[in-house]
Amino acid sequence: MAKKITVKDLLDNTRLTVVTGGEYLDRPITTENISRPGLEMTGYFNYYAAERVQLMGITETSFAQRMSHEEKLLVARKMMSAETPVFVVSTGRQLPEEFMQAANEAQIPVLATELTSSRILSNMTYFLSGQLAERQSVHGVLVDIFGLGVLITGDSGVGKSETALELIQRGHRLIADDRVDIYQQDEERLVGEAPAILKNLMELRGVGIIDVLNLFGAGAVRNHATISFNLHLAKWEDGQVVDRLGNGEDSIRILDVDLPRLVLPVQTGRNLAILIETAAKNFRAKQMGFDATETFNSHLNSLITENSN
């Protein structure tokens, strides 16, 4: 389920200031798409997307200077629909008085910025796409390890939180414990974050709930991270088949993305934190083109060729 956000959320997370309508910042924003109402300024409203954030820059405000008072007021009142969440004015431009009047009549806030239209458009789209994206909740722990978002999953009681705590003590950063809210950034990337109620908190059996930010400092937490791979902690069972070479191509599908997956058997005496660190380093090395399994296979083939001659 996607988040519900308001104009105030947009104001707090982008470089915008209130021009008018500060009392109407609770208006909801329901779509990440943003409109540049160029055609509407000419009076063409056949395909007006009223539910979108309306962005006016140099082109729109300059065109308005050529319009009569009556034309501006007529167009402005048509644009100030009951569905319209907010008007944003870029590049330090001023909205015509007729538009300000219509905005106040319709109780629609007007925000402004010194940023160019392309820059504020990019900022708002990035924020809205992340906040309004469909979300999937996963039971697990998300930790930033060497800049890689590692989603640690496993059966209840297998030691996910305890392992994450040791990773934090080793200098890595917690994003979420127990439950990870995941949304799709684009066709290939998943981003994870903690639910608001669990942000910076961790539950440890026998200890209780701890505040990681308070105990370990700001460097021990992050708000969100792109998920690089899933590391699944599986309880060791006798006779269990384990991938010893690391050439398995396992994955787990979350939303519309196939996330690489590594299964790590949990057994008494195994230092999970060090193993997970090593798995993260090895994953990054493979991304850079250094694959130890391929090196081993190459050495093995060379040895076989030498012995056969």
Average pLDDT over residues 130-158: 92
Task: Point out the annotated binding site for Mg(2+).
Answer: 161, 203
How much is the pTM? 0.75
Q: HSE-up of 298 (CA within 13 Å, CB side)?
A: 6
pLDDT at 2: 59
Annotated binding site: 154-161, 203
Q: Are residues 9 and 104 in the same domain?
A: yes
Q: Which two tokens stand for residue 269?
A: 């005496």
Task: State residue 185's pLDDT score.
Answer: 85
Residue 59: C-alpha distances to residues 56, 89, 91, 114, 124 (Å): 8, 11, 11, 15, 19
pLDDT band at residue 266 under the 50/70/90 scheme: confident
pLDDT score recorded for residue 287: 83
Say whether both 32 and 105 belong to one domain. yes
Domain identity same for 149 and 285? yes
Q: Which residues are catalytic?
A: 139, 160, 178, 244
Q: Which of 4-8, 94-98, 162-166, 286-290 has the lowest mean pLDDT?
A: 286-290
Per the document, the length of the chain is 309
Cβ contacts of 217 within 8 Å, gap of 6 or more: none
Strands (E), 63-198: 87-89, 110-112, 135-139, 141-145, 148-154, 173-176, 179-184, 190-193
Give yes or no: residues 174 and 198 share one domain: yes
Considering the domain architecture, whether residues 162 and 219 belong to the same structural domain is answered as yes
Per-residue pLDDT tens over the stretch 53-105:
999 999 999 999 999 999 999 999 999 999 999 999 999 999 999 999 999 99
Domain contains 175: yes
**In the structure encoding, which two tokens stand for residue 138, read together?**
């996963």
The whole-number average pLDDT for the span 214-238 is 90
Instruction: Identify residue 280 by its one-letter amino acid code.
Output: A
Decide which of 86, 103, 132 is a domain's last residue: 132
